[in-house]
Every structure is written in structure tokens, then in C-alpha cells.
Structure 1
């Protein structure tokens, strides 16, 4: 789970900003939203980040994406125009390095990972085991450009190999290099890397799951979870099933598609076919037999008639929900931290409420749900969001600032919904195009 994210000089953020999942333990509202038994530090199960268009709330998500990609892919930064990731709206833009850090938990151990980088090199990269209650950090490794300090003494061959790899690729992360070449003997590094690769799920505005069909086919509990929820979303879908067909039989009915796939099928054992970013079908070889899998929806029509339609005939909202529901399963059942940018994209306010409410009111969740949104109706739902689960991003002098609703000293009876719409917390714009046009 994530404890906190720190960002500075990154995209729209100039000064240091911190987002965290620490609860205000003085607040007794929705006490079940505070995890107290999963690890040694109390943590919130969810957070909603609000802000007007252009305020920078999506950049909080991008900071998490950046850190994850940097930690896992040694060539990530090398292939970027890093100059575009600085805060650029000041005279001395680019003078200071980009600075990002994240503190997280896995298997009841806590880690702090920080990065400072310029367009030319990594000024600093550090991984530490953290002890939040004591406010201490225990070194795993710390690197300043090509110089690395290890907690466990490395032999000369490892030191030299590390130096050469960093000289060759000065923008690579040591954590990513260690995934390919075991240069860090400390097993804590591999555990921290595991969090980035397996415990952090990020869903962007344009994210779709090209392997959604394979994912649901291979995970029956997830399939049942998605089936149950999709029928409750009021999108006209009564049920959803995974249809299995022999490839030869399917090919006779889809001759043109099958002919175009022939060359690709000879090279791989499985293939996902997508149309306009929509997962249409999956072709796999099982026990020497080629099978075609498709998601089929029972859509309700006139007079209660139920017709079977595939994913290509579903609405954008239904497909967006199909992207979110597997991630929701991860947060509910597998202890993952799920971050969703613009959760309301393509979804109605009632559908957003339904998804968030499900997670908020499910008692046995063991993960986290963090999302950005414009859906201010959720602020009026006292049984869904705690005050310390509400965050705002606003622009001040052209730079983003990040703060919690918990920072405002208000009586618990005051509605955050009303306060937000009245501009009491900032992070909202009152647009009057008619007035501007008239002038």
C-alpha cells in the first residue's frame, strides 16, 4: 500500500507537494475506512482528488506512473524528452532537478524510494527501508550519478560492473538494472521492486486492457466478481459470459479476419485482437487445439427480450467500467493500490457513485483506491468519503498546490459539497463565457 507521494519541479508542480494516505485518528466518522490490522501504520483505504481542468490533479497520477516506469524499465528515461517534465513556467526553469519520492508498504515492511534527475543524468536515486513510527530510514542503496553506496558491501567486480552500466546508461535506475543483472545482494531491493511491478495498478483516461479477455479467462474469481458488478451498473447488461469456440468453426464465419490473422497465428501461441482499442477476441492454443474466446453480453431489449452482443457493440461507459472492475477486484481482494485518473470519464455520476460506494462499504477490502474526479456529488455522500480522504489540487501563481480537506477546521456538520461549490476550498473555477464574450 502507498503511504505518501512527494513531488517537486515536476510538470505543473514547482514547490514540494505531498499526497498521503495517513488518517486523522481524531475523526471517528467511517472508522472502518482506516486499515489498522494490515500493517503497523494506520492507513486510509481510499482517496478522491478534486481540481478544476488544468489544475494539475492528473499530474499526481503521472508522478506515480513516472516513478513506476523509472523503477522497472532501465531505458524509460533515456527515451523521454525529460525537459518537458520540469516545471517550465519560471525564468530559471530546468535549473533544479525533477524530484519524486514514494513511501510504500509490502508484506508489513516499509520502503522509501526517491529520485532526483536532470536531462543528462540521475543526480540521486535512493532506496531505503523506512520505519514510519520512529521516523527513520535504513539504507539499502544510495546513488549519486555513477557513485553508489550499498548497505551490504559489494565486491570489486560488482562495483565495477555497476559503474560501467551507469556510465553506459546514466539515466537508468539502479532498481531496473538490478532486475536484469543481480548487482544488489540485499533482498529488500527485490521486494521493493515487487511492489512497483505487482502491487501498483494505474488506470489512465485512455487506458484499455488489450488482454482483458485473457485476464478474465485465467482468473475465475475475477470473472465472477466482474459478472456480478456489471449487471448492477444499470447499463442494460443482464449478464456477461466468456464464449469458447473452436477456431476452425469460427474462421468459417469470419473468413476475412481469419485470413488476415493467418501469418500472426503461426508465430505465437496466443493473440488478442482489438478494434478501436476494444478487446474483441482472444485466440489461444490449448492442448494443441486453437480456441477463440469472446466476451458476450446479455443485453436487455424491448419487452424483456435478451440479445447477445460482443464488446464491439457495447457503449463507451460499459467498456470503461470493464477496465475499472478488474482493478477494483485487485483493490478489494488482492491488496493492491489502484490509482484511477478521471474515474468519471465516460461514466455517469450514478455509476461513479456505485463503483466508489461498493469499495467504500465493502468491509473486507485489503487494498487502496485512489482516484481523480470532477464528480462533486460524492462530496455530499457522508457515508462514502471521510474528510481526510478528500484532496484538492489548485493553481496558485501558475503552479499546482496539493492539500487535504482535513486541513480546513470545520464542524463535521458542514457539507464539503456545498463548501466546494462555493469556492471555500479553492480548486474550482467559476466560468462565465457570456460575460467575457460581451466585453
Structure 2
């Protein structure tokens, strides 16, 4: 679970800003089921974070900052550069960017972060946190000549990661990315394994047009999910009664007709290196290609369809691509609800309200909280949907705002920073501008008048 995330000098963030999901002690007794104990601490962490702000205020910058951090942890760097995106409206563009994350994994609280410029990782750290005490697992610095020095204070000498730390690694690549690219999964152990696995499997980042999971593969492979998804869509008045999926085996020659020849060799190499032995390709038409490693590679084309009821019979079938944007968006998000019932994971969904009805978004969050009542699953969303500003649904410390100041830099703050009565209609006061983070609309009548004159 994500406990806090700090970022400095990245996209719309100039000075350091912190998004914290540490539960406020002042709100004890309010939706206590929304909190989970932080290991070796009297503090608790929240299961939900909802971030509001006007268009361009920096909500998606927070999502992209965490996405950049995940990419730097898991992917080997290119020959040159770090592809960071510094704040561009001041001399800060030449200064380093900093990312610092606290999260719970395997019953431990970790703090991981790095400082990076355009060409290299300047500093990197991994700490184990217990109360107010921080134990160093490793620290890394890069000197002016590009030499990497890593002090593996908390790594066992028998760990292969310890030997790798002594070697160092590329200056533009994090040590975790070096370990992930160099060591087999079976060779990872201890804290390094915990952290890499959390970023790889537990931290799920979903953009406005992305699936949380490959839906076609889940529908074909998991009967329970197929039934759950059909039932949820039916209860949501989408008109869908049930879902089906066709799994058609194709040859490598067929695959070459679908995927560009320049891309196919890379996909096959990734399939050979995959721990799960499968690879999934999302096609622009909504279909998926499933690649399975075995004695000989096998390839499948997955096509999802919906079933509708006409009269007394369920007999009208549509390809998923012909369903509404809202129905397809809802189906994209449903794996989070299904997985949350059985596995711990942290979901960060950017623009959850894309094509979704306000009541469905409200119900989605309520269902998530009910589904993960016994699990340490967590969901963070960015949105404009003001119906979620409901203290019957959320705690005050679960509601956050993003707002730009006079220097065009994003500031983050929580509703819990304000003195708010328990019975206050938060939505009404937010739309009136009491908490900021709403667009300031200038006078538009002049534009309308000039437009009318141009029409004559």
C-alpha cells in the first residue's frame, strides 16, 4: 500500500509536494474500516485517495510522476539519458528531480527514492522504516565522472544483489532496474525482491484509455471474473446481460500478418524471458493477442462480445467495440474490483470519470471499499466528478486537491487541512470555490459578443 509520495521538479511540480495517505488521528471513528495499520507504528494508512483539480492543475502530473518512478525501477535504461521531465518555467529545469516513496510490502514499511538529472541517477536509497527509525538497506551515489558507488549496508553478503551492488551499474539506471534486468526472479531475495515485486505486481497504474488488466485474457481464463463482470454490467443498467469471449488459435504466419515484422521478434524474446510464460498484446480494435510459451509457442486471438436481451430471450450479440464508451470504460476498470477481493494491490487510476456516469463512479468506489474490507487493497483516482465529495462515502483525509499558484507550480493539499463540519455539504462548497482547485472562469460575454458580430 502506498503511504506517501513526494516529488520535486517534475512536470508541473517545482518545489517538493507530498501526497500522503496517512490517516489523520483527528478523524478517528470516521470510516475506520477505510484504514489499515502501518507496520511497527501507531499510525494507519488509508485505502482510498481521491484527487480533484481544474484542468491543467497537475492531477495527471502526480500520476505521471509515479509512472516515471515505476519505469525507472523496472526498466533498463537507454544508452544515454534518463528521459525525465523537469519543471520548465524557471531555472529549475537544470536542477535535479527528486522522487521519494513510502509503501507497505510483505508486512514491512519501506522508503525508496532517487535524485536524477537529464543524464544520470545522482543518488538512490532504500530504507526499512520502523516507527521513527530508518535502517539503510542500500545507498547509492554517482560521482562527476559517472562512476556508481553503492553501499549495501542492509543486504546479506550471500545475496546476489549484494555482489551486484559491488559492481555498480550504468549511471543512468537505478540499482533496482539493474537488479531486475540482470538477475533471474529466482535469484532475487530479501528486501530487493520485495520492493521489485511490489512495483512489478502490486502497483497498478491505469491511464484514461488503458485497461487495469488484459480484459479479454481474464474473461477467457477466469470464469468467476466473467460471471462477476456480466453481473456488474447488468446491475449497472448498461443493457449488457452477459459477456463472452472467443479464443481462436492462429499460426505464426497469421501473427505476422497482424503484428509488424519489426515488432514481432521483440515480442517473442519477451515471451521467452517472461516469468509467467505468457505475453498479451492489446490491439487497436479492442481485440487481444495471447502468446503462450511451451514446448512450442502457441498464439491465440481473443475477441470479446456482449449479449443483450431482446424480448424474453438473450439473443442479440455485439462485438465489444460496438458498445458505448462508458460500458467499455467500466469493463476496463472491473478487474480492480474482482482482484481486490482476493489479492492485495494498489491501483492508481487517472481520470476515472472518463466516459463514466457519476452514479457509476460513486458505486465503483463503494464496491471497491466493500470488496477489499478484509484485504490491504487500495485505490487512488484523479477526477472532476464532484459527486464523490460525499462524507457518507469518504473521509476528509481521503479527499485531496491540486491547484496551481502564480508561478504555474502545482500545490497539493487535503480537505482535512480545512475546518469542516461533519454535516457540511462538501460538494456545494467545493463548487463555490471554498477549497480552491476549481477553474477560474473569466468573463466570456465579450467573446460571445465578438462572435456574434463576426457572424453578421
Compute the TM-score of the two structures, normalised by the length of structure 2: 0.82
3-state SS of the aligned residue for 1:392? strand
Alignment of 1:24-423 (within 5 A): 24-27=24-27, 28-36=29-37, 41-75=43-77, 78=80, 81-82=83-84, 85-90=85-90, 92-131=91-130, 134-145=131-142, 146-151=148-153, 152=155, 162=165, 166=169, 169-182=170-183, 187-208=190-211, 211-244=214-247, 260=257, 275-279=283-287, 293-301=302-310, 306-362=315-371, 363-379=373-389, 381-397=390-406, 398-423=408-433
Whether the 8 Å contact between 1:333 and 1:367 is mirrored in structure 2 is no
Q: Partners in 2 of 1:290 and 1:53 — Cα distance? A: 42
SS in 1 for 2:150: strand
- Distance verdict in 2 for CA 1:43–1:290, change over 3 Å: closer
Residues 303 and 77 of structure 1, relative CA distance in 2, 3 Å threshold: farther
Cα distance between partner residues in 2 of 1:3 and 1:18 = 10
Residues 320 and 347, structure 1, Cα contact 8 Å, conserved in 2: yes
Any conservation in 2 of the 1:275–1:312 contact (CA below 8 Å)? no
Of 427, 435, 439 in structure 1, the residue corresponding to residue 445 of structure 2 is 435
- Structure 2 vs 1, CA of residues 162 and 39 (structure 1 numbering), >3 Å: closer, same or farther? closer
Query: Does the 8 Å contact 1:349/1:375 carry over to 2?
Result: yes
Change (3 A) 1:273 1:393: closer
SS at match of 2:94: coil
Aligned match of 2:275: none
Q: Is the 8 A contact 1:227 1:239 kept in 2?
A: yes
TM-score in terms of structure 1 length: 0.85
1:243 offset after TM fit, Å? 3.6
Provide Cα deviations, 1:188-229, integer angstroms capped at 9, x if missing partner: 111111110110000001224784322333334433332332
Say if 1:311 and 1:319, in contact at 8 Å, map to a contact too. Answer: yes
1:8 corresponding residue in structure 2: 8
Q: 1:322-369, CA deviations, whole angstroms, 9 ceiling, x for partnerless residues?
A: 211113333343110000000001112122122112113443343001
- Which is further off, 169-178 or 283-292? 283-292
Q: Contact 2:341–2:375 at 8 Å: present in 1 too? A: yes
Change (3 A) 1:161 1:24: closer
**Structure 1 residue 230, shift from structure 2 partner:** 2.2
Give the deviation of 1:98 after TM superposition. 0.3
Instruction: Report how far residue 386 of structure 1 moved.
Output: 1.1
Do the aligned partners of 1:68 and 1:196 also contact (CA within 8 Å) in 2?
Answer: yes
C-alpha distance in structure 2 between counterparts of 1:313 and 1:234, whole Å: 17
Residue by residue over 1:350-396, the C-alpha shift from the partner in whole angstroms, topping out at 9 and shown as x without a partner, is 221221121134433430010000001111x3321111110000001
Query: What stretches of structure 2 of length at least 5 have no aligned partner?
Result: 143-147, 272-277, 451-456
Decide whether aligned partners of structure 1 residues 77 and 421 sit closer, same or farther in structure 2, where only a CA change above 3 A counts: farther
**Cα distance in structure 2, aligned partners of 1:124 and 1:303:** 66
Q: Distance in 1 between matches of 2:312 and 2:222?
A: 35
- The answer to whether the 8 Å contact 1:78/1:172 transfers is no
Contact 1:4 1:103 in 2 (8 A): yes
Gaps of 5+ in 1: 249-256
Residues 281 and 294, structure 1, Cα contact 8 Å, conserved in 2: no
The Cα shift of 1:182 comes to: 4.7
| C-alpha separation in 2, matches of 1:283 and 1:196 | 23
Rounded to whole Å, the distance in 1 between the matches of 2:39 and 2:228 is 23
Contact persistence 1:52–1:394 (CA under 8 A): yes
